[in-house]
Each structure stands twice: as structure tokens, then as C-alpha cells.
A and B are shown apart, each in its own frame.
Chain A
Amino acid sequence: DAKTTQPNSMESNEEEPVHLPCNHSTISGTDYIHWYRQLPSQGPEYVIHGLTSNVNNRMASLAIAEDRKSSTLILHRATLRDAAVYYCILRDVYKLVFGAGTILRVKS
């Protein structure tokens, strides 16, 4: 399985944008980049995914480097409810292979 590398933790202030980086230098041409997050004591929650182009949805934006070897999840205005573990995943055909993720702390 292609691997991703994420910082162990990040901290943000409430109401400010957050940029969560992910490196995936061994990505193949058909791998989709998925982001999930897991709030405390809950199951993972789908956030966003993309292949080559930048993507936006109501939760976040995904910026994908031109060579696809890295990507950034952007939360435009962090709230306390965004405190979670964020996972960057290169999607295998059917299973999600989760790494350690990035623990995002949001300060009020």
C-alpha cells in the first residue's frame, strides 16, 4: 500500500484557517487522495477526496500538488468542533489504510 506522511500534531486558533499537509511521494497514477477525520469517541468521518485537481466542499478544501506527491487539507475557519485526528489516505480499491494521522488541536 502506498504510504502517506503527516505531522503528528498541529495547533490552531479558533476562527483561523488551518493547513494540514500530507506527503505521498509513492502515489500511483490511479490513487485517489482521501481525507477522513475522527472526533473523540466517534467513528471516522469522510471529509474530502481528489485525484488531480483541487477540490472544495462544504467541509474543507483539498489542494493537490501538480506532481501529486503532496496535498494539503484546508479548513477555512477552524472551530472547536474541528479538533480531531485527520487522516490522509491513498485509497486502495476497496479498503482504507489508515496511518497515525495528525492530531489537530484548536484553541479558543
Chain B
Amino acid sequence: GAGVSQSPSNKVTEKGKDVELRCDPISGHTALYWYRQSLGQGLEFLIYFQGNSAPDKSGLPSDRFSAERTGGSVSTLTIQRTQQEDSAVYLCASSLRPPRGDEAQYFGPGTRLLVL
């Protein structure tokens, strides 16, 4: 079946512009996660959704970052007034059931964001 898809695959923007990154989870998956991988750094957790609600937004780096999920499916991560340090690969993952220790997460290919 279809995996997690993300769009765009690449995005180049100018400093100060807003960007929207989209994630389509695996059909039927109830939980959705966003992570970020900066050049030379590890993956860091940003936010997770259970259904349309986001119980934990603690990983969002600043108030310029926001995310929403509609219809329990598609999610959008928005970065306002982008800065060069926002350049990274933004990864989305989904899992079938609400988060549990034994639940696998399935990742998309990521969106590579470059802020000039």
C-alpha cells in the first residue's frame, strides 16, 4: 500500500517568507508525527497529533512554527518568517494506533527546506 507522502520534496525560499509543508499519512493511521533533521545533526521531535489534536507541541523550536491536522488525515507544518537556521529536512511519520511503546512509526521521504 501507499506509504507516507510529503510535499514538496524540495523547497527553496528566501529569508522572511512563510512556507507550508504537507504530510499525507498512511490511510487509517491515527497518529502523526513531525521531526526535523538539520545538516550534521540528528533527528529531533517537533510535534505529534492524535486525531486532530496535538497533545504535545513541546518540540516546536519557536512560535514561528505551527502545525495542524484536519479530518484526522493530512497535516500541514507552517513556518512563518523563515530564518536560515530553519534549513533542514522535515520528516513526517505516522502510526496505526495511538502512541504506545511497541508501536512502529512509518516515515515519509521528507521535505528538504533551504532558506536563503
Q: How far is the CA of A94 from the CA of B55 in the complex (A)?
A: 10
What count of chain A residues pass the 8 Å CB interface test? 21
With contacts A93-B99, A93-B100, A95-B33 taken as known, whether A46 is within 8 angstroms of B106 at the C-beta atoms is: yes
Q: Flag if B33 contacts A91 (CB, 8 Å).
A: no
Q: Flag if A45 contacts B101 (CB, 8 Å).
A: no
Interface-located stretch among A11-19, A68-76, A97-105: A97-105
Task: Kindly provide the distance from the CB of A61 to the nearest chain B CB, expressed in whole angstroms.
Answer: 16
Q: Which residues of B contact A97 (CB under 8 A)?
A: 45
What residues of chain A have their CB less than 8 Å away from a CB belonging to chain B? 30-32, 34, 42-46, 49, 51, 91, 93-101
What count of chain B residues pass the 8 Å CB interface test? 25
Q: Closest 8 A-B residue pairs measured CB to CB?
A: A94-B99, A43-B107, A32-B101, A95-B45, A98-B43, A46-B104, A98-B42, A91-B101
Q: Which residues of A contact B108 (CB under 8 A)?
A: 43
Q: Flag if B45 contacts A96 (CB, 8 Å).
A: yes
Interface set, chain B 72-92, CB cutoff 8 A to A:
91
21 A-B residue pairs with Cβ-Cβ distance under 8 Å, sorted by A, are A31-B101, A34-B104, A43-B91, A43-B108, A46-B105, A51-B101, A51-B102, A93-B99, A93-B100, A93-B101, A94-B55, A94-B56, A95-B33, A95-B45, A95-B48, A95-B56, A95-B59, A97-B45, A99-B42, A100-B42, A101-B42
Q: Which residues of A contact B44 (CB under 8 A)?
A: 98
- Interface residue? B21 (CB, 8 A): no
In the complex, number of A-B residue pairs with CB atoms less than 8 Å apart: 56
Q: Which residues of A contact B101 (CB under 8 A)?
A: 30-32, 51, 91, 93
Q: How far is the CA of A34 from the CA of B101 in the complex (A)?
A: 9
Q: How far is the CA of A94 from the CA of B91 in the complex (A)?
A: 15
Additional A-B contact list (19), CB under 8 Å, known A30-B101, A43-B93, A46-B106: A31-B101, A42-B109, A43-B4, A43-B109, A44-B107, A49-B104, A51-B102, A91-B101, A91-B102, A93-B99, A93-B101, A94-B55, A94-B56, A94-B99, A95-B48, A96-B43, A97-B45, A98-B42, A100-B42
